A and B are shown apart, each in its own frame.
Chain A
Amino acid sequence: MNGIVIGQYLPGQSFWHRLDPRAKIVATSLFVVASFLIDSWLFMGLLIVAELVAMTLTKIPLNYFMRSLKPVFFFVILTFILQIIFNRQGQVIFSLGPIEIYDEGLNLGFFMSIRLIIVVLISTLLTLTTKPSDLTLALESLFKPLKKVGFPVSELALMISIALRFIPTLFEETQKILKAQASRGVDISEGKFKDKVMQLISLLVPLFILSFKRADELANAMEVRGYVPGRLRTSINRLSWKVSDTVLVLVCGALFIGAIIF
């Protein structure tokens, strides 16, 4: 079992799972932009309530959401500390040597930290309830208007799908190379610094060679199966838009417009 879990998707039958992925992407984008446009705690409270309602509807245990906050925790703390240290507006409420904490800095620090948290949670909501393949399909569909200006939307979506498919394979390949070299006497954890650098290169060179070889083989296989870049194609997977999707987009659209107005 390799260490990479792509997509973090959790199977389920909740309201959120059944929504069209295009609606979820549009709604999430509107929500995120709205959170960056606001600067009042009242509206922030409204966004927090909306997000909590959405999280409840997924029927996914809370610890999955908490887990997604873990890698971002460092950024939240960093943002908070930078704000309270360098923001110099308002009244001084605490001072210790060169450090002075202003009330405006503290307020802004909390505001920006909470904003980061709700952005992470809404992103996690999208990935926990949507399959990676559906996300790629939705992206291709949403970017379709760009085809009219010559943007190769189908090819870009295909590249993402291929990349997603090969990430676990390449990770496994990396582990194999490391073990093969270890069995031949290479010890990556010892030796002089220069030796470590050469060992890193001796890992990356075969990884690249194998990857490019894989790319060539895949290209040949695709072509003999009739794939031609740019040619119109059908799709085995279909997306269907329903009334609930419209409602979701309208709600997030309202939040977005409200954020602009206030």
Chain B
Amino acid sequence: MKTKDLTKMAICIALLSVSSYLSFPLPFTPTMVTAQTIMINVSSLLLTPQQVFITVMLYLLMGLLGFPVFAGGGSGLAYIVSPSGGFLLAFLIAAPVISLMRQKVAVNFKRYLQVTVFIGMPIIYFIGAVWMSVVTHMGLIATLNAAVLPFVIGDTLKCIIASTLALRLERLTSSTKWVTSYE
């Protein structure tokens, strides 16, 4: 592991933590769009599979230890064992898969969107729904109705934002030479 990779992953963990505090209201609904899912997708698209796995794993570990890095500044094991905790664990599986698939596709918006929507989102929904079903002893169909269907549109929108963001960042980071000044 190189030092630059190490600090990059650390800074991504910090970005994931900060993003859980960022939220914007969706018009005409009481729902809030949080930047957390966007950050997961962007990190998946920018880092290697191994790097993003370590990043998400350490992020979850920090939350488990009680650092307030989960949505809305929450923390602790209760978030994992709660009905919606499976979605956090699903990030651990989905992020490396997204990153792996991204390496096999061309660098353009359409491919990025396809990877995040048709590969990332189903993994997250499936694991999250199974987890909720087990924790609450609900049937799987009831779980899908409660926890998956209402969020499909919002999450698709987040994937669009993440793909746009990742493309811009990729162009900027590959073409920009850092001008560092210590004057």
Contacts and interface: CB of A to CB of B under 8 A. Distances in A.
Interface in A77-111: 78-79, 82-83, 86-87
Among B10, B62, B69, B176, chain A packs the most CB atoms within 10 A around the CB of B10
Contact of A75 (B22, B61, B84): B84
Interface stretch (B13-21, B94-102, B103-111): B13-21
A36 B176 CA distance: 52
Interface residues on B, range: 35 or more
A167 B67 CA distance: 11
A162 B7 contact: yes
Interface size class of A (residues with CB under 8 A): 35 or more
A209 B54 contact: no
Contacts of A156: 54, 58
B61 to A, nearest CB: 7
A174 interface: yes
B21 A79 contact: no
A72 interface: yes
Most buried by B among A36, A155, A163, A219: A163
A32 interface: yes
A116 B78 contact: yes
Contacts of A196: 24
A229 B15 contact: no
Interface string B137-149: 1110010000000
Contacts of A25: 65
A116 B81 CA distance: 8
A146 interface: no
B10 A123 contact: no
Interface of B: 1-4, 6-15, 17-18, 21-22, 24, 26-27, 35, 38, 42, 54, 58-59, 61-62, 65-69, 72-79, 81-84, 135-139, 142, 157, 161, 164-165, 168-169, 172-173, 176, 178, 180
7 contacts: A79-B82, A116-B78, A123-B75, A127-B65, A155-B6, A159-B13, A219-B4
Q: Identify the 7 closest CB pairs spanning chains A and B, nearest first.
A: A127-B66, A162-B10, A163-B13, A123-B76, A75-B82, A166-B14, A219-B4
